Structure 1
Amino acid sequence: MQRHALPSIKFTTLRLQMIKYPFPVHKCDIGSNLEIAYCDEGSGDQTLLFIHGLANYIPVFKHNIEGLKGQFRCVAIDLPGNGLSSRGDYPYSMFFYAESLARFITQLDLQNVVLVGHSMGGQISLILSLRYPTLISKLVLLAPSGLEFYNDFECSMMKGLLSFGGMMYGDAMSLEAAIENSYYHEQKKDAKHIVKDLIHLMQGEQGKYWRKMVQTNIEAMLNEQVFKFLPQINQKTLIVFGKQDAFIPNKLMHVGETTESIAKKGAALIPNCQVEIIHHSGHFVQIESADKVNALITKFIEAK
């Protein structure tokens, strides 16, 4: 596998005693002073590799790992710049994340890898599958970015606003609003816990890296669009959306679209793809409808 150099910077140790993860956390050194924090639960012939979205962390997959680890090996990571993984002056592009994941998969010698990517993690999963198709057996995309196409004018507008769906993640108030708007149900059991953790992670001396990461991530999702490359995806793919997703489609740019129309347009371009729309769920579909999502993933993986 061809490796592209990652920036070599001094790893900054975080004081994160207040952050509680639902599973034991391990560290994987993938080179260039970059450590990936990950959880590794369960066992099985198939390995589910969970990839979170913008400014998130491993615990957003808590209910999925708990429900699936009895049948599959479940590995979840914190992307560089997030959670307990290394922070620093990294590129924070989609390609950077895909390359980091390829190194991680190779370092741990993960086999029969099924990528489970949420939101931005879905777009990263698509890019990883395109760049390193032999590393990935199947794709599960949960409310993924990457299926919604932005023209040049829309990209310029979005970059100018430094927003995605009208929300920014660069400060505590906007982060809290974005997390809460990711849910459909009024009773958001996990939202306060997630917000508390993420605000703690974005504060202090690490804040400058957080803000750069968020801004660069948003720009990278627009600069590294995968829509036109979807026909090249050769892995069997499952796309799952919550019908009440508040972020996809972009309410500012794509007024005439619906979550279902975006999902179907993307799925139509992927050769072997199925779409599932779950009612009464928002952008965090894997949390709000964990049992349904887990059942869909299990059926998808076990299907011949």
Structure 2
Amino acid sequence: MRYITLTLLSFVHWSVAQTAEHNGVRIAYQTEGQSDTTLLFIHGWTINQSYWQPQVEHFKKKYQVVTLDLAGHGKSGDERDDWTMEAFGNDVVAVIKKLDLQNIVIIGHSMGGSVMLEAVNQVPERIIAMVGVDNFKEVGTTLTPKQQKEIEMFLGMMQTNYAEVVDGYARNMLFTPESDSVMVDSVVQYMRSADPVMARNSLKHSIEASEREVQLLQDAPTKLYLIQSDALPTQEKSLKKILKHGYEILSVGKTSHYPMIEVPELFNTQLEEVLHSL
């Protein structure tokens, strides 16, 4: 089976969500499996923890698996105005501390990679490996004035017509011509339903965090593994300079931005490779 659609995922049984708290905002999370090693999955921009369900089902047999909804996403609360990567990182740390997680393999998809770095920066002693999923492809790249202007224009358009703008962006930028149409429609519909203020501000902050991202990568306590789609290349020159513990790229072929649901078996195989190397 090449993909798992969000339509199907919506019918997967989830136990009643447990919650941690960060600054009065409830953070919903799930735990499955038992082990001294924890796989902690962080979702990306405007999606939720259910996107990791194929990984939960696969890895819970051997590991403790924890997923969560960042504030403003899924079942978590949204009573905040701070949508920075640091604030989201604090959401993750709240779950880590509530469950007293140790020996963590922390996995972040897309924007979740920046969130992952913020969390790791706070609790480095608890982390044994970091895994980025289709992210960190242009680390250290400086935006041109033209690119900055285009981003400002895009963010302005999001402010006036969020649903239509994000629909067009997602369909044109986050999927390949070969992506299954049912999967595309499911993901896009979920993104359209996100809170526009949270979506716009978190995207803005993720773009603005590029310099801090470099610093956090330089300070990273472990090697960085990257499970990447080949649809867009990873610029490795900066990674070689920045990461003192090194990095490793594991390809899942030319997939969409969501390989964990599009090619779950291959994705899980690549993550197994990471775990076996530790």
Is the shorter-chain TM-score for this pair beyond 0.5, marking a shared fold? yes
Aligned letter for 1:160?
E
Contact preservation (8 Å) 1:80, 1:87: yes
2:87 to 96, 114, 122: 96
Change (3 A) 1:82 1:158: farther
Measure how far apart 1:98 and its partner are. 1.0
2:130 to 135, 139, 146: 139
Q: Deviations over 1:138-195 (max 9, x none)?
A: 11100124743343645743541245xx999963333334444423323244333333
Instruction: Tell me, in whole angstroms, the C-alpha distance in 2 between the residues paired with 1:292 and 1:266.
Output: 24
Q: Match for residue 204 of structure 2?
A: 219
Measure how far apart 1:68 and its partner are. 1.7
Question: What secondary structure, in the 3-state scheme, does the structure 2 residue paired with 1:36 have?
Answer: strand
Instruction: Tell me, in whole angstroms, the C-alpha distance in 1 between the residues paired with 2:62 and 2:141.
Output: 39
Equivalent positions of 1:28-107 (< 5 A) are 28-107=19-98
Contact preservation (8 Å) 1:140, 1:237: yes
Q: Match for residue 242 of structure 1?
A: 229
Contact preservation (8 Å) 1:267, 1:275: no
Larger CA deviation: 229-238 vs 169-178: 169-178
1:232 to 219, 226, 240: 219
Instruction: Tell me, in whole angstroms, the C-alpha distance in 1 between the residues paired with 2:185 and 2:33.
Output: 28
Measure how far apart 1:70 and its partner are. 1.6
Measure how far apart 1:198 and its partner are. 4.3
TM superposition score normalised by structure 2: 0.82
Contact preservation (8 Å) 1:25, 1:37: no
Aligned letter for 1:235?
T
TM superposition score normalised by structure 1: 0.76
Q: How many residues align?
A: 262
Instruction: Tell me, in whole angstroms, the C-alpha distance in 2 between the residues paired with 1:196 and 1:215.
Output: 16
Aligned-residue CA RMSD (Å):
2.8
Question: What secondary structure, in the 3-state scheme, does the structure 2 residue paired with 1:151 have?
Answer: coil
Aligned letter for 1:78?
D
Unmatched runs of 5 consecutive residues or more in structure 2: 1-8
Aligned letter for 2:37?
Q
Aligned letter for 2:187?
I
1:157 to 136, 149, 157: 149
Contact preservation (8 Å) 2:49, 2:68: yes
Equivalent positions of 1:100-115 (< 5 A) are 100-115=91-106
Change (3 A) 1:218 1:89: same
Change (3 A) 1:48 1:264: farther
Instruction: Tell me, in whole angstroms, the C-alpha distance in 2 between the residues paired with 1:145 and 1:169.
Output: 29
Aligned letter for 2:175?
Y
Contact preservation (8 Å) 2:38, 2:101: yes
Contact preservation (8 Å) 2:159, 2:196: no
Measure how far apart 1:264 and its partner are. 5.7
Change (3 A) 1:91 1:157: same
Identity across matched positions, percent: 19
Instruction: Tell me, in whole angstroms, the C-alpha distance in 1 between the residues paired with 2:276 and 2:255.
Output: 25
Instruction: Tell me, in whole angstroms, the C-alpha distance in 2 between the residues paired with 1:223 and 1:105.
Output: 26
Instruction: Tell me, in whole angstroms, the C-alpha distance in 1 between the residues paired with 2:227 and 2:161.
Output: 27
Contact preservation (8 Å) 1:239, 1:263: no
Aligned letter for 1:213?
M
Contact preservation (8 Å) 1:241, 1:278: yes
Q: Match for residue 286 of structure 1?
A: 260
Change (3 A) 1:124 1:31: closer
